[in-house]
Amino acid sequence: MSLFRRRKVAESTPTDPTDDAVDAVDATTVTTAEAGAEPATAASGVVDDPEARAAAEADAPARTTPAPEAFDRSGGPFDVSEVDGTDGRLTLGGLSLVGREGMELRFEVEEGSGRVIAVTVGLGGSTVQLQAFAAPRSSGVWDEIRAEIAEAVVQQGGTADEQDGPLGRELLCRLPVRTEDGRTAHQPARFAGVDGPRWFLRAVFSGHAAHDGEAAAELESVVRETVVVRGDEAMAPRELIALSLPEQPEPTEPAAEETAGRDDLKPFERGPEITEVR
C-alpha cells in the first residue's frame, strides 16, 4: 500500500466528494463535526437540520421515514460491534479499512482545525470517497439524502438516475464541470449510501468505477469491508463522525549486533593520507 496524501481545505471552504470533478455541483460537502457549525448545502448529501439539532437523538428523532427495504449488511459495511476487533486494519478514527496492494489514501484535512473530514481510496485508476455520519436510532437517512443529492444535481444542470446497485439504492449522476478551455462537460459520479446502527456511511465513486461495474468491484469490496466506529457519545443526526490520520510506525532502534564494531570503524575520523608527488 502506498503512502497517503493530505489535502487541506479552508474551514470556510468545504471539500468536494469526488475531487475537482464535483466542484461545480457539490458546493458544500459537510464540514459540521460539532453542533453549531455552519450548515452544509443539499448538494453534499448531508444537510444541517435545525429540527434535528433541537431534538434529542434518543427521545425524538427529527427523521422518522423508514427505508422501503433495508439493505442487507450481512456482508458489510460493519459496525465495530459486529467484528472481532480491528487488528490488521487501517485505523482512521471513525472508519477502519482493510489495506490492499496498490491502495492510495488521500485525506481531506480542514485548515485551522486540522480536522480530517473525508478519506478517498484510490485503486486501479478509480476512487471512492468515504464519510460516516451519525444517524437517528429509529431510522436511516439515506433515502432522504439520496433525494436531496438528486435535486441539487439537477438544479445545477446535471442528471441523476436512481438505480439498484451492489450497495443498495444509489444514484448515478452526470455532474457539470468546466473544462480547461472554458466549455461545460459532464463527469460521472456514483453516490452510494448504507444505513447502519446509529450511523450512515456515504461512498462516492469516481473514475471508471462510477459507470463500469468491473472497474468498481474492488472498490466496492473496500466499502463492504469497512468498519464504522461511531462511539457512544451523543451526536446530532447527520453529524460528521470524526476521522484521523493513520498512525505512523515509530522508527526502530538498530539491533545491538548491527551496531557492534561501528565505533571501531570511526567513519568520521580521517585516516592516514598519502600524497603522491610527480
Q: Which tens digit of pLDDT belongs to each residue from 29-53?
A: 333 233 233 333 333 444 444 444 4
Task: Look at 21-25, 164-168, 197-201, 265-269 and tell me which has the smallest mean pLDDT.
Answer: 21-25
Contact in structure between 49 and 148 (CB atoms under 8 Å): no
Longest dimension (CA), the chain: 97
pLDDT at 88: 86
Residue 82 in domain: yes
pLDDT at 55: 45
Residue 41 in domain: yes
Residue 72 in domain: yes
The whole-model pTM stands at 0.70
Residue 264 in domain: no
pLDDT tens digits, one per residue of 123-139:
999 999 999 999 998 88
pLDDT tens digits, one per residue of 189-222:
999 999 999 999 999 999 999 999 999 999 999 9
pLDDT at 49: 45
Write out the three cell numbers for 150: 438528486
Amino acid in the structure at residue 174: R
Quick one: average pLDDT of 59-75? 58
Q: Is 152 a residue whose pLDDT tops 90?
A: yes
Domain range for 78? 5-253
Residue 143 in domain: yes
Residue 109 in domain: yes
Residue 62 in domain: yes
Rounded-to-10 torsion of CA 130, 132, 138, 142? -30
pLDDT at 259: 53
Residue 134 in domain: yes
Nearest to 107 by CA among 99, 116, 115, 98: 116
Number of structural domains found in the chain: 1
Task: Look at 30-34, 179-183, 273-277 and tell me which has the smallest mean pLDDT.
Answer: 30-34
